[in-house]
Amino acid sequence: MNRPRIFRLLLVALLFSTLELSAQTLADRLGYPAGTKLIIVHADDLGETHAVNAAAMKALQLGTINSASLMVPCPWFPEMADYAKAHPDADFGLHLTLTSERVYYRWGPVASADKVPSLVDENGYFHHDWEPGEHINPKEVELELRAQIARALAMGVRPTHLDSHQYRLIMNGKELFDVMLRVAHEYKLPVFVNRDWFAAYPYLEASLGPGDIILDHTVTIEPEVPPEKWAEFYLTALKNLKPGVTEFVIHPGYDDEELRAATRERPSWGAAWRQRDFDFFTSDQFREILAQQKIQLITWRELVRAAAAK
């Protein structure tokens, strides 16, 4: 056996071990048996409207939605802060919010508007959307994130994680992601990221360190799924679930007057959409497929505890 051949074999072995390592799931690293399938059933947008709060509180009580995050700048945040204080074991993160995406119902920053001019429109609300080329000042983002966290803490919320409303802080470049990550590290909070995003947004992986919790996968429904295929979409995702920790990012809400009025300019993530999410994730069908597929529920609180114990 000549040296070059040995080197080539070693190289191949090394390559495999690297692949092996990167294929190792968060669940493996947290000590779950190989192949364990864990999901966080995570409700987004709490605090935005009462219809979303009420549906989330009901689903949390039923137990099949086990995690959620709160929009601090929104007018119904105090209702959720009150609930969080009364339910200190609930798994609530902060849904860091930099947009006010609806038309008839809007909100603005927690920081003083004159301190975050790049984040607000001419009427003082967060931008409805970020136009291409919109300059969002990362220093102002940091100020606003800190203001949101400070208000939540002052109002008695003890968040278990941070995530980003409309993924603005995830999918808009390294600079904004790094702001979020820096603030998260300072507060010793995990940020919701998963490996599936690394190919499209390589700066995520570049910025994250060995101390960060990285989920394996995300499942979230998109406007392309027609209403009558809602349950089928989720059932298929659950049947095909890969091992590791998957966050189901869902948007439960009640299809009532308030939510219909607040979201009436477009059906995506609207009132009927949110009712469908509520209906599926509180259904017997959902409970049954979890049992059938041996899928376990896990929360951010448990992930953090397990990661700290390692």
Cα dist from 297 to 36, 221, 234, 301, whole Å: 11, 19, 15, 12
Out of 92, 107, 234, 248, which residue is the one contacting its own copies (CB under 8 A)? 107
Cα dist from 234 to 166, 225, 228, 247, 301, whole Å: 20, 10, 12, 12, 24
Q: How far is the CB of 124 from its own copies (least distance, A)?
A: 6
Binding mask 159-198 for its own copies (x = CB under 8 A): ----------------------------------------
User: Six-digit token pair at 34?
Assistant: 């190989």
Subset of 57-76 contacting its own copies (CB under 8 A): 74-76
CB closer to its own copies, 74 vs 290: 74
Cα dist from 1 to 6, 15, 17, 95, whole Å: 7, 20, 23, 59
106 lines the binding site for its own copies (CB under 8 A) = yes
CB closer to its own copies, 62 vs 103: 103
Out of 33, 104, 284, 310, which residue is the one contacting its own copies (CB under 8 A)? 104
Binding mask 131-150 for its own copies (x = CB under 8 A): ----------------x---
User: Six-digit token pair at 265?
Assistant: 């300019």
Binding mask 74-93 for its own copies (x = CB under 8 A): xxxxxx--x-----------
User: Six-digit token pair at 56?
Assistant: 């989330």
Tokens 């709060």 sit on residue: 53
What single-letter DSSP state applies at residue 251?
-
CB closer to its own copies, 235 vs 261: 261
Neighbours of 307 (CB within 10 A): 15
Q: How far is the CB of 167 from its own copies (least distance, A)?
A: 23
261 lines the binding site for its own copies (CB under 8 A) = yes
